[in-house]
């Protein structure tokens, strides 16, 4: 599906000497800014903050390795401190469900790198869906969200689960809005964030998306090695794993760029052997060739987000590596980039160790202890 020339050139270049690939590993993170940068991302919206509404620009601190130019922040939803704070309350508030038991954080828990540790998530009344909860980290770098990319923006994604009968369980978004309005303490917070006491689905989405954009992961051992030039940051095995990732494993073809995701959809065959297999991207595009294709997930924090794949069918990173090594699961729509790899035992171990080096920081939020009354 992808035939990126820059990438081929890159793969070619790494066949050379070690210093060369180390250098290029840095460039893998195309145009990365080094060090912690303070980005004022609140400017650029045509909207002047209305007086008294307290729209304070939110200073997003990007950990080492994350690329400021790749942030996706819509013009009409600049990051402000007030929106982020409101969005955080909405994200953690279990009252925003049909029976006061489910919050976004029920399935995206801070303690599990914003996943739930389950193969597939359980929502309201313990009902199970068919997909595994991906991390909510580094969503600031993507437009399309969900495994099949059906939400075009993070704003759209941020209200989707409320009206899902097996997630938050509201009949529709009007019910959600009514619930938020019934909690008197939210009115003043919407007024502070948006300059008017109105509460709408759209504004709820903007606030939650703003909060989610502050959940970042960078400054991992890998970043310190590749971008920060700290030679000691990666073990020799992890360095070898990186070499396999870029070379023999061909992982870079899809887990591309500083967020290790090409924002494209690929069929690896995961779940294709099940009786009722998930059509994935095909449900959105209606194109036959997208059958069984899913969005390439970021690999940042991946060692913390087991089980893996859209259906949570692989339990450990080693199982994932074995799955790729065998050439995925052949089916009519298998991505041509997926082929048997013939990795050695050592290469497999090193690849896992490399992925473990992608644990970083920037997402350690403290859940609120008090909610609006």
Residues that bind ligand HEC (CB under 6 A): 91, 102, 104, 106-108, 121, 123, 129, 131, 133-134, 136, 139, 145-148, 157-158, 161-162, 167-168, 208, 212, 249-251, 253-255, 266, 268, 270, 294, 296-297, 299, 302, 305, 308-310, 317, 320-321, 324, 335, 337-338, 351
Is 167 an annotated catalytic residue? yes
The least CB distance from residue 212 to ligand HEC, in Å, is: 6
Considering the complex, state which of residue 33 and residue 101 has its C-beta at the smaller distance from ligand HEC.
101
Give the shortest CB-370-to-ligand HEC separation in angstroms. Answer: 19
Q: What is the DSSP string of 92-104?
A: H-TTSSTTS---H
Nearest approach in angstroms of CB 335 to ligand HEC is 4
Q: What angle do CA 55, 173, 368 make, to 5 degrees?
A: 50
Answer yes or no: are the C-beta atoms of 238 and 353 closer than 8 Å.
yes
Place of tokens 């969900």: 146
Tokens 């893996």 found at? 308
CA dihedral for 104, 311, 117, 366, sign (positive or negative): negative
Identify the H or E element spanning 340: none
Minimum Å gap between C-beta 113 and ligand HEC is 10
* Residue number with CB closer to ligand HEC (131 or 243): 131
Q: Which helix (H) or strand (E) holds 90?
A: helix 81-92
Q: What is the DSSP string of 159-209?
A: TGGGG-TTTT--SSHHHHHHHHHHSTTHHHHHHHHHSS----HHHHHHHHH
Contact 190, 200 (CB under 8 A): no
Angle at 266 between CA 160 and CA 114, to 5 degrees: 45
Q: Rounded to the nearest whole angstrom, what is the least distance from the CB of residue 99 to ligand HEC in the complex?
A: 13
Q: Within a 10 A sphere around the Cβ of 154, how many other Cβ atoms?
A: 25
187 half-sphere exposure, CB direction, 13 A CA radius: 8
Q: Rounded to the nearest whole angstrom, what is the least distance from the CB of residue 252 to ligand HEC in the complex?
A: 8
- From the candidates 82, 85, 155, 167, which is the catalytic residue? 167
Q: What is the DSSP letter of 282?
A: H
Residues carrying an active site annotation = 167
């Amino acid at each position: 599906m992808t035939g990126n020339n820059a990438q081929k050139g890159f793969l070619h270049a790494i066949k050379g000497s070690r210093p060369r690939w180390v250098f290029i590993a840095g460039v893998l993170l195309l145009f990365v800014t080094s060090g912690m940068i303070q980005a004022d991302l609140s400017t650029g919206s045509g909207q002047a903050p209305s007086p008294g509404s307290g729209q304070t620009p939110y200073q997003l601190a990007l950990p080492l390795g994350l690329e400021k130019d790749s942030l996706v922040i819509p013009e009409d939803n600049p990051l402000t401190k007030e929106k982020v704070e409101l969005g955080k309350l909405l994200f953690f508030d279990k009252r925003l469900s049909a029976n006061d038991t489910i919050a976004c954080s029920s399935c995206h828990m801070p303690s599990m790198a914003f996943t739930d540790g389950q193969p597939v998530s359980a929502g309201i009344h313990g009902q199970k869906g068919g997909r595994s909860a991906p991390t909510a980290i580094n969503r600031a770098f993507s437009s399309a969200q969900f495994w099949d990319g059906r939400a075009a923006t993070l704003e759209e994604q941020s209200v989707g689960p409320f009206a899902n009968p097996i997630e938050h369980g509201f009949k529709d978004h009007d019910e959600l809005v009514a619930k938020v309005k019934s909690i008197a303490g939210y009115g003043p917070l919407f007024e502070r964030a948006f300059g008017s006491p109105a509460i709408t689905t759209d504004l709820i989405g903007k606030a939650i998306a703003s909060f989610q954009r502050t959940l970042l992961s960078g400054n991992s051992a890998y970043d310190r090695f590749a971008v920060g030039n700290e030679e000691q940051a990666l073990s020799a095995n992890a360095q070898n794993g990186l070499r396999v990732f870029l070379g023999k494993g061909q992982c870079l073809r899809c887990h591309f760029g500083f967020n290790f995701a090409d924002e494209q959809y690929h069929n690896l065959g995961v779940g294709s052997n099940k009786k009722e297999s998930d059509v994935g991207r095909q449900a959105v595009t209606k194109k036959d060739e997208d059958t069984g294709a899913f969005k390439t997930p970021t690999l940042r924090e991946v060692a913390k987000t087991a089980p893996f794949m859209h259906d949570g069918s692989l339990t450990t990173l080693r199982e994932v590596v074995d799955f790729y090594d065998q050439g995925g699961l052949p089916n009519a729509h298998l991505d041509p980039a997926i082929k048997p790899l013939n990795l050695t035992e050592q290469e497999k171990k090193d690849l896992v160790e490399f992925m473990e080096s992608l644990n970083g920081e920037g997402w350690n939020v403290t859940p609120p202890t008090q909610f609006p009354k």
